[in-house]
Amino acid sequence: MSSLFTPLTQRAVTFRNRVFVSPMCQYSSVDGLPTDWHLVHLGSRAVGGAGLVMVEATGVSPEGRISPGDSGLWSDAHATAFAPITAFLTGQGSVPGIQLAHAGRKASTEAPWDGGGLIPLTDSRGWTPLAPSAIPFHDDDPAPHALDARGLDEVEAQFVRGARLALAAGFRVIEIHMAHGYLLNEFLSPLSNQRTDEYGGDREGRMRFPLRVTRAARAAWPDDLPLFVRISASDWAEGGWTIDDSVDLARRLKAEGVDLVDCSSGGLVPHAKIATGPGYQVPFARRVRAEAGVATGAVGLITEPAQAEEILASGAADAVFLARRLLSDPYWPLHAAEALGVEVAWPRQYRRARPVPAPAAR
């Protein structure tokens, strides 16, 4: 039996396979509300056979969005708007998930196709980003506002609210975004966290607020549903967060009730030197899984069925998160099953398009 197409059960949720749709920003929401684009974009990946379909980084508050076009989950109206999407994903056999996020100092930016730069406060669409310390992402950007004790309480409450709204919307998995240079990742790294209170200093202090948010979200999320966390396993920068730090964090996350650590990397500083290549982040997932004793997801230039199969069969990870490959081919799971010789059910509406197997040789 193929490892890629072996079901995975976590708590009371069973994923039909281990092909997971990575959260990918679409910059196509209006006031944080998903649109028809999201229904079609996410729905097509469920039709294509993915085990988990994860909604993009979704702001737990308006100022927690990366851009004005990001999706959000901070009101009943947002949960109501997501409900038809989760119903469709579930109806197609996929598990609906959502990544709860706060962009921190990387907030208030344009969409990539509009340049991606910081939106000035003179523009009505912009706002002042928040951060652990008043250190901008780019040296020539205005400094973000450093969160005080009240601000930390508000952010924690926003993640809790996001978890409860995710449940109301019909999601079965939430993932806390602790990667790519966004707020919770900023707390972890000494390159972005220079606080002198209990939430800064050594690694223990820098982990304190991300773990606090995780603990609160887990308490607000049903015990029978999985909680994931995406981390940047390395900053890829001198003096920054390392894979050794990530192993320790993963142990702590597991103790807080996290079911899977999704191992990405980078994004914290613009000068990072990242050695990319096929599966370049898989060693992070392997180390975290082996040394922290927690399930992991591997992500990063995973494109071929045999490559994904080997990652899982070798014990490097429990699932693979695909991003750009699933943008170019929403039906990659169905095509991967064909390539690996695995029998999976195609949507009945598409079965006429399924390749006809060649007759067996006599």
Q: Which residues are catalytic?
A: 182
Residue 111 and residue 132: Cα distance in Å, rounded? Answer: 24
Residue 273 and residue 217: Cα distance in Å, rounded? Answer: 33
For β-strands 95-101 and 130-131, DSSP reports them as unpaired
In 69-148, alpha helices (H): 76-91
Q: Find the helix or strand (DSSP H, E) in which 159 lies.
A: helix 149-169
CA distances from 75 to 61, 82, 128, 203 (A): 9, 11, 21, 34
Residue 60 and residue 75: Cα distance in Å, rounded? Answer: 9
Beta strand spans in 108-243 (E): 130-131, 145-146, 173-178, 227-232
Q: CB–CB of 307/7 below 8 Å?
A: no
For β-strands 260-264 and 295-299, DSSP reports them as parallel
- Give the contacts of 27 (CB within 8 A, at least 6 positions apart): 67, 69, 70, 111, 112, 113
Question: What is the full DSSP assignment across 210-235?
Answer: HHHHHHHHHHHS-TTS-EEEEEES--
- The SS3 assignment for 178 reads strand
What length is written for the chain?
362
Residue 84 and residue 72: Cα distance in Å, rounded? Answer: 16
For 118, the token pair is 């910081």
Name the DSSP class of 33. Answer: B
For 84, the token pair is 């038809």
Residue 347 and residue 350: Cα distance in Å, rounded? Answer: 5
Residue type, 173: V
